[in-house]
Chains A and B, each alone.
Chain A
Amino acid sequence: MDNLDEADGEHPERSGLFTQTHWSVVLRAKEGSFTALDTLFAKYRKPLLVHVLSRGFAPDRAEDLVQGFAAHLLSPDKKPFLDNVSQQKGKFRTFLFSSFDYFINDEIAKEKALKRGAGNYPESLNATGPDGQILHDPKASTPTADVEYDRAWVQTIVDNSVRLLEHEFAARGKADLYHAIEPAIHDDATSSSYRDIASRMDMTEGAVKAQVHLARKRLRTIIHQEIMQTVNDKEQFDDELTYLIGLLNQPQT
């Protein structure tokens, strides 16, 4: 399922001129540059999938819907939707959620209409707003309607970050090192495990500890950036971080 393989060293979010939030990627899509948007969707596919499944769709239908959503946003005739997106006052996570939810509702409605034989594109059944307006309501509370989506979102963020870290090591030719120290990065390894790694990698224990420390620091920064890309300012960032941690504190249903 995790077939995300960004090209080594090529992170569309990091290059370029401006603040590289996801908003900028979406907005660039308005101009017709869809590659970054595509990558973006691939990145957050998991939470979308989780959400679809939680709405009771079968797995293959769920896949279709996620693909359909990406295609829906990437198709040129959906420009009006992207035009609305310029009002970015919310978090990307919630924005993605509400627009995807809206899309699903649309699809359901379409199917129902077809079954009825109406053949026309139906009125939206989504009570949140007039047709085409899928903006995140900034006054809405942080959790989305689907806590599972949020949980999957958090996990995706962390997974993506770890993957990025791995890529960074690999780009430097230190893939082996990464795999060796990976367990140590995530939990406090005992000194014996450091010794094991050191002997395996033909490094001193101190060198291993240093590498682990650096890797941990780097991971923190990556996660920080990953979350930062989905919000607009520091305040929102703090808010989001607190929420996401709180989410994980709750017992999983």
Chain B
Amino acid sequence: MSAVTPNKCPRCGTPLPANTTHKVCARCALADVQAFAEQESSSQRPDLQGVRDTGQSHFAGDYKPGDTIGRYDLREKIGEGGSGVVFLAEQQQPFKRQVALKIIKRGMDNDKVISRFQTELRALALLDHSSIARIYDAGTTHERLPFFTMELVRGKKITEYCDSHRLTVPQRLELFVKVCRAVQHAHEKSFIHRDIKPSNVLVTEENGEPFPKLIDFGIAKTPTGEQLTNNAVNTATGQILGTLAYMSPEQARGQDIDNRTDVYSLGGLLYELMVGCLPLELDGLGQYEQFRTIIEVRPTQLTDRFEELPLKDKLKITHCRQTQIDLFPNQLHSELDGIVMKCLEKNRERRFQAASDLTARIQQYLKAQMNAESQKESVLAGETKLSRKMLIIIKTIVEPFWLADSLILSASERGRIARSKWYKTIEGIGAKLFLLILPGECLNAIYKREYPVAIGLLFVVCAYTYVAFLLRKFRKQDVAPQPPPIEITPLKWHEHLMVYGMMFTAIGIYLLLIHLMGTRNILGIIYLVGAFLTLYAALWISGQRQLFLSLATIIICQ
């Protein structure tokens, strides 16, 4: 060994740069690195399941349709992900059938990955759920690249399916619940999917009903230790595996993962199913920025997120949910928002602790929504024995005639018809009654957003009032030469008030009763019926029998 720095590398003869303090030949060093990398990938590995290899060799693990791997003939490429490529393949032995064959990409095939792959495959065989794609077989290729075959799922990505079939928000939620159930099943068997995203949730149809299928259960994603640690970043090579869009904060941090990681991903999926975009905007950001966002940035609320979108997107999203732009935000109730946000909590202690909790919560929500809908319908039904509008039309037509008739009659036939106390009272009070009912109807119409009806009624009220005034004036003028009319005790002003008050109360009670019947509030109904009857009794006793009869007529007409 010479103590003098040689001018040439003793191994390759490349002249060494003069100003290096180390006796290193860069070329040799790098060549070593390259050789080392190649050696790693071609070292001997135990065969997984003794599948017969055909002996075909391929460079860089690039398989293509037409190739054969063991007893499977590759037919076409149906997908490609971070860790592998998926083919549609035809099994030849022991019988023919079509399967999905996933082969691990070159570069992912080192010892750690393989052994973990093997363990996982054995455990995956335990998963038996209609919504989880079954694993059939596994093996290695001639080049020692691992592969496995699974149930071929012909379906669309869940997001695409929902959009193309224009599923409404409740329908999407129901489909989502099915997915959660599958995930829960896996969790119960101690299996964490790790990669829940739309492309791993395919939807097929069975009996016309959408049927989700979960595929690709965390197989051979990263080299990990014995514990369920998961770095979605391969720390040896610095490589990011797969998309970050659905990655949970703990994955981004490189912490260990558990079933709540899947809950987070489910939350991301739900978010996308609701508003058509991801909870966090990661596009265009660098790796570091993406991680930072996942760990620190809170996702925007559903409604706010929707509002922020450009009009074009809003149109598309609402179209795909069979709704309209102004109605959609109402469907994204704060309760639903709360559910989604709880899944997406950065701190996993604050999320739903199990997929089944999420399922239960959503079902609770759906049930409440359905109840609210049916309540609304029954209230409407209770209130209209006849069609509401029809009633209003009838009243609007009939009332003016009756009113005008009675007023004109009193004016013209003053000399000839001795008006009975009965008649006059009816006429007077009847007119007042209708004038009072109409504003009530008007307000009701406004409440139900039947604006044309409301305006019509308002007009009628004003018209009546005016006509009544005019006719009254008329009447007063003509009264003088007559024989004095039959004495009727006119009501004093406070008595008027009392009468009106009672009428309002009676009608109000009646309406409330209808509402309560709709909500089936038995106690309330009993109370109100009692109040109503008391009121009637009071009216009867105080002698306002005419009032009682008029009220009765109105109510019957209702």
A contact set with B: CB distance below 8 Å: 1-2, 17-21, 23-24, 27-28, 85-88, 154-155, 157-159, 161-163, 182-183, 186-189, 193, 196, 216-217, 219-220, 223-225, 227-229, 232-234, 237-238, 241-242, 244-245, 248-249, 252
* Chain B contacts for A20, CB-based, 8 A: 238
- In contact, B253 and A17 (Cβ under 8 angstroms): yes
Shortest Cβ distance from B295 into chain A, in angstroms? 8
Expressed in whole angstroms, the Cα–Cα distance for A64 and B100 within the complex equals 61
Expressed in whole angstroms, the Cα–Cα distance for A205 and B387 within the complex equals 105
Shortest Cβ distance from A1 into chain B, in angstroms? 7
Task: Give the residue name and chain of the A residue nearest to B35 (CB).
Answer: A220
Task: Give the residue name and chain of the B residue nearest to A86 (CB).
Answer: B286
Partner of B240, one of A155, A219, A233: A233
- In contact, A187 and B11 (Cβ under 8 angstroms): yes
* Chain A contacts for B306, CB-based, 8 A: none
- In contact, B1 and A86 (Cβ under 8 angstroms): no
- In contact, B17 and A220 (Cβ under 8 angstroms): no
* Chain B contacts for A216, CB-based, 8 A: 32
- In contact, A233 and B25 (Cβ under 8 angstroms): no
Expressed in whole angstroms, the Cα–Cα distance for A224 and B38 within the complex equals 13
- In contact, A2 and B238 (Cβ under 8 angstroms): no
With A17-B254, A158-B26, A234-B237 known as contacts, the answer to whether A189 contacts B286 (CB < 8 A) is no
Task: Give the residue name and chain of the A residue nearest to B28 (CB).
Answer: A186
* Chain B contacts for A225, CB-based, 8 A: 236, 238
* Chain B contacts for A186, CB-based, 8 A: 22-25, 28-29
Shortest Cβ distance from A76 into chain B, in angstroms? 19
Find residues 1-43 in chain B having any chain A CB closer than 8 Å to their own CB: 1, 9-11, 14-15, 17, 19-34, 36-37
Expressed in whole angstroms, the Cα–Cα distance for A14 and B401 within the complex equals 94
Shortest Cβ distance from B221 into chain A, in angstroms? 15
Expressed in whole angstroms, the Cα–Cα distance for A86 and B15 within the complex equals 39
With A85-B286, A186-B28 known as contacts, the answer to whether A19 contacts B233 (CB < 8 A) is yes
In order of increasing CB-CB distance, the 6 nearest A-B pairs are: A248-B27, A24-B288, A27-B288, A158-B26, A187-B10, A86-B286
Partner of B19, one of A1, A19, A183, A232: A1
* Chain B contacts for A187, CB-based, 8 A: 9-11, 23, 25, 28
Task: Give the residue name and chain of the B residue nearest to A197 (CB).
Answer: B1
- In contact, A241 and B33 (Cβ under 8 angstroms): yes
* Chain A contacts for B1, CB-based, 8 A: 183, 189, 193, 196
Task: Give the residue name and chain of the A residue nearest to B14 (CB).
Answer: A248
Shortest Cβ distance from B280 into chain A, in angstroms? 15
* Chain A contacts for B33, CB-based, 8 A: 220, 223-224, 227, 241
- In contact, B30 and A223 (Cβ under 8 angstroms): yes
* Chain B contacts for A220, CB-based, 8 A: 29, 32-33, 36
B405 located at the interface, meaning its Cβ lies under 8 Å from any Cβ of chain A in the complex:
no
- In contact, A88 and B21 (Cβ under 8 angstroms): no
- In contact, A154 and B26 (Cβ under 8 angstroms): yes
With A19-B287, A189-B1 known as contacts, the answer to whether A158 contacts B34 (CB < 8 A) is no
Shortest Cβ distance from A203 into chain B, in angstroms? 16
Shortest Cβ distance from A225 into chain B, in angstroms? 8
Q: List 9 A-B contacts (CB under 8 A).
A: A18-B291, A20-B238, A87-B284, A159-B22, A162-B22, A189-B1, A220-B33, A233-B240, A234-B107
Expressed in whole angstroms, the Cα–Cα distance for A87 and B252 within the complex equals 20
Shortest Cβ distance from A190 into chain B, in angstroms? 8
Known: A19-B239, A159-B24, A237-B237. 18 other contacts (CB 8 A): A18-B291, A23-B286, A23-B288, A88-B286, A158-B29, A158-B30, A159-B21, A162-B22, A187-B10, A187-B28, A217-B36, A219-B32, A220-B29, A224-B37, A228-B238, A234-B107, A241-B34, A244-B30
Find residues 272-311 in chain B having any chain A CB closer than 8 Å to their own CB: 284-289, 291
Expressed in whole angstroms, the Cα–Cα distance for A19 and B238 within the complex equals 5
- In contact, A245 and B286 (Cβ under 8 angstroms): no
- In contact, B240 and A161 (Cβ under 8 angstroms): no
Partner of A18, one of B21, B239, B288: B288
Partner of A219, one of B10, B23, B29: B29
* Chain A contacts for B34, CB-based, 8 A: 241-242, 245
* Chain A contacts for B31, CB-based, 8 A: 245
- In contact, A155 and B29 (Cβ under 8 angstroms): no
- In contact, A158 and B24 (Cβ under 8 angstroms): yes
- In contact, A248 and B26 (Cβ under 8 angstroms): yes
- In contact, A17 and B9 (Cβ under 8 angstroms): no
Expressed in whole angstroms, the Cα–Cα distance for A20 and B231 within the complex equals 13
- In contact, B36 and A27 (Cβ under 8 angstroms): no
- In contact, B288 and A28 (Cβ under 8 angstroms): yes
- In contact, B233 and A154 (Cβ under 8 angstroms): no
* Chain A contacts for B287, CB-based, 8 A: 18-19, 21, 23-24, 88, 232
